[in-house]
Amino acid sequence: MKIRIDKARCVGNARCAAISETLFPLDDEGYIAVSEVDVPPGQEQLARRGARACPERIIVVEDDSQ
């Protein structure tokens, strides 16, 4: 599973980081710091919850098991 993020559209709500700071790290200004994350085994549910928490819908979870 992979997370893809459109960093340019991030407005810094940090709702994703509130779900998981590990999967959705923020930079010093409070915006998402990464544009792609490989989701470690066992953290798939956190990845989906973080994506749903984003009001801008800029986080896409790609499930490669399908």
Q: Domain segments of the chain: what residues? A: 2-62
Architecture of the domain spanning 2-62 = 2-Layer Sandwich (3.30)
Q: How confident is the model at residue 54 (pLDDT cuts 50, 70, 90)?
A: very high
What is the predicted pLDDT for the residue at 65? 66
Question: Whole-angstrom Cα distance, residue 12 to residue 45?
Answer: 22
Placement of tokens 């896409």 in the chain: 60
Q: Render pLDDT for 32-42 as a digit per residue (tens, 0 to 9).
A: 999 999 999 99
Name the phi and psi angles at 50, rounded to 5. -65, -40
pTM of the model: 0.90
What is the predicted pLDDT for the residue at 64? 79
| 25's tokens | 């790290």
Q: Render pLDDT for 2-22 as a digit per residue (tens, 0 to 9).
A: 999 999 999 999 999 999 999
Question: Whole-angstrom Cα distance, residue 30 to residue 63?
Answer: 27
Q: How confident is the model at residue 28 (pLDDT cuts 50, 70, 90)?
A: very high
